[in-house]
Every structure is written in C-alpha cells, then in structure tokens.
C-alpha cells in the first residue's frame, strides 16, 4: 500500500472552512488538492497511485471508472442513485472479476424497489423484474465459486499426475524441484498448457475478488502453487522476436521524413502547336 494515494473529494460550500473548524476538522489542504490537481482523471487512470477516494456529493452522474472494484456506502441511498452507485463498481475491466459493495447501512432493502423502477429483466411489462432476481449476491457465492475453481484445478492436475496438495506442503529446494517436475507434466502440448493456465488464471482472479474476506486464507496455499506454476510455464514460452519488424518500421519512418535534394530538370524545348492545323469546326461539334 506504500504506492497508494488517497484523497478527499467533496462539494464546496461558502463557509466550509469555518464549519469544518467547528467540528475540529481542517479542510484547507484537501480543498487545495481538489483545486490544483486533476483528481478525477487521476482516479480514472489505473496506473495512477490515487486508488482510494472519500467522496461526498461528487463524482455521481456521468463519472465512469471501469477499474473501480469496491465501493463503501455509509448513508442510505434509493432509486436511481442506488442503481447508479451499484453499477459503477460492476463495470468490465481486465483482470476484474466483479465489483464489491460494502454497505454500513441497510441500502439493499430498497434495491428491489429501485429495480422495479429502472430495470427490465424479463418480467411482464416495462419495469417488471423476475422474482428473486438481483444484480448482487452475497460474497459467500463468490467463495463457493472459488472453491469449485480450486477443485477443478486440482482434479485437472491430478489426472496428469500432478498432486497440488503435496506441493503446498513443500518448501525450499524440495518445492522448486517438485514444481519443475509438475511443469514438465503440464506442458506436454500447447492445448494442455493452455488449459492449465486457464484454471490457474480463474483461481487467481476469484481469489483476488474475495479479498480481504477471512475465508481467503483457506485458499492461499493452493492459489500460491498455481500462480507459481503458471508463471514458470509463462517463462518457458518462446518469446516472439519483433526486432525485424521494428527495424522495418523505423526505416519507413526515416524514409518518410528524410530530406532529399530538390532536383531541377534540364530545360526542355516547349511543345508548340500550329493553330493553322486545328480543326475548329470539329471542336465546335464536340
């Protein structure tokens, strides 16, 4: 977390400095950042260290951050505001399995009403929803998905002579040697290798999705083994040499901007036409 930045983003009011001071708070430094820095664009940029924002009455309508994965709610929300907030954490982004809503107040009791107003999920008529259909689920469902994914990965490897459970109990040189043997059995061909990498990627993605849930500790050792094996296999994959293509591109760029001497051609005798030879009547008919 040393590379993670945090910021306060709240709407301004006329006497905010005095009002905050009465509560023992100093908003001056936060307001300075809001004025001098482009906080919204920094937060949208997944490469920027600004990853945590404390927001009040800001960044609501039209604020889109696909990389945002977790939203904490500490006030009641209803109708359109509730729907919009929940959907903001559920945007598609690479390596993002799902969004997480952590509510310190019971906002989900109003979710069914909000869905009836703003969602169409296959019921009868506009705004109708299917009974029991919600765009959110308890985190326990995600934990069950992770458990199934781990079981599938263990079964896949076991069918190929690799016992992942045994690897979790090894350390040091014994682990390195056993992991190397396992890799050899998992990369017998490209299809086998790709299938294993898919299993490992799914487990890793679901594991990250349930964090910081305490149940993650149950899957930590197995996930660690799968990640180690997948990274080792990735290191074995042949690297594509693109240097010839890069050199060709550089040559094309050089040719496109190269300064060439202007060529002055020798004077040539002008082409002369004798007007007496022109058929003027034929020209008039055309």
Per residue, what are the HEC states of the chain?
CCCCEEEEEECCCCCHHHHHHHCCCCCHHHHHHHHHCCHHHHHHCCCCCEEEEEEECCCCCCCCCCCCCEEEECCCCCHHHHHHHHHHCCCCCCCCCCCEEEECCCCHHHHHHHHHHHCCCCCCCCCCCCCCCCCCCCHHHHHHHHHHHHHHHHHHHHCCCCCHHHHHCCCHHHHHHHHHHHHHHHCCCHHHHHHHHHHHHHHHHHHHHHCCCCCHHHHHHHHHHHHHHHHHHHHHCCCCCCHHHHHHHHHHHHHHHCCCCCCCCCCCCCCCCCHHHCCHHHHHHC
Cα angle, residue 120 at apex, residues 118 and 121 outer, rounded to 5°: 135
**Higher-scoring residue by pLDDT: 125, 97:** 97
**Higher-scoring residue by pLDDT: 153, 281:** 153
| pLDDT over threshold 60, residue 263 | no
| pLDDT over threshold 90, residue 162 | yes
pLDDT 10s digits, 48-65: 999 999 998 888 777 899
pLDDT for position 133: 57
β-strands 5-10, 50-56 pairing: parallel
pLDDT for position 97: 85
| pLDDT over threshold 90, residue 268 | no
Average pLDDT (57-80) is: 86
pLDDT band for position 131 (cuts 50, 70, 90): very low
Instruction: Encode 161-177: b = buried (16+ Cβ within 10 Å), e = exposed.
Output: ebebeebeeeeeeeeee
pTM for the model stands at: 0.62
Q: How far apart are CA 107 and CA 148, in angstroms?
A: 30
CATH class of 5-118: alpha beta
pLDDT band for position 222 (cuts 50, 70, 90): very high
**Higher-scoring residue by pLDDT: 134, 236:** 236
Q: Which of 18-22, 136-140, 225-229 has the lowest mean pLDDT?
A: 136-140
pLDDT for position 238: 59
Domain boundaries, the chain: 5-118, 139-236
Q: What average pLDDT does the chain have?
A: 82
| pLDDT over threshold 70, residue 215 | yes
């Amino acid at each position: 977390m040393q590379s993670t930045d945090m910021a306060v983003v709240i709407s301004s009011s006329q006497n905010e400095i005095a009002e905050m001071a009465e509560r023992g708070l100093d908003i001056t430094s936060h307001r300075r950042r809001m004025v001098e820095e482009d906080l919204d664009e920094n937060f949208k940029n997944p490469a920027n260290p600004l990853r945590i924002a404390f927001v009040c009455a800001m960044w609501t309508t039209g604020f889109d951050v696909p990389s945002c994965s977790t939203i904490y709610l500490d006030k009641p929300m209803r109708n359109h505001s509730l729907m919009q907030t929940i959907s903001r954490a559920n945007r598609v982004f690479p390596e993002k399995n799902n969004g997480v809503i952590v509510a310190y107040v019971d906002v989900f009791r109003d979710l069914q009403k909000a869905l009836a107003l703003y969602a169409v999920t296959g019921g009868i008529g506009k705004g109708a929803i299917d009974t029991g259909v919600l765009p959110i689920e308890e985190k326990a469902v995600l934990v069950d998905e992770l458990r199934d994914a781990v079981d599938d990965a263990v079964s896949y490897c076991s069918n190929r002579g690799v016992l992942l459970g045994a690897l979790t109990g090894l350390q040091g040189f014994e682990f390195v040697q056993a992991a190397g043997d396992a890799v050899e059995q998992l990369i017998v061909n490209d299809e086998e290798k790709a299938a294993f990498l898919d299993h490992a990627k799914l487990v890793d993605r679901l594991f990250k999705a349930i964090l910081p849930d305490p149940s993650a500790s149950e899957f930590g050792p197995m996930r660690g083994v799968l990640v180690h094996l997948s990274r080792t296999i990735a290191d074995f994959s042949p690297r594509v040499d693109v240097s010839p293509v890069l050199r060709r591109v550089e040559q094309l760029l050089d040719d496109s901007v190269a300064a060439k001497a202007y060529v002055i051609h020798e004077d040539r005798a002008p082409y002369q036409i004798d007007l007496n030879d022109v058929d003027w009547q034929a020209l008039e008919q055309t």
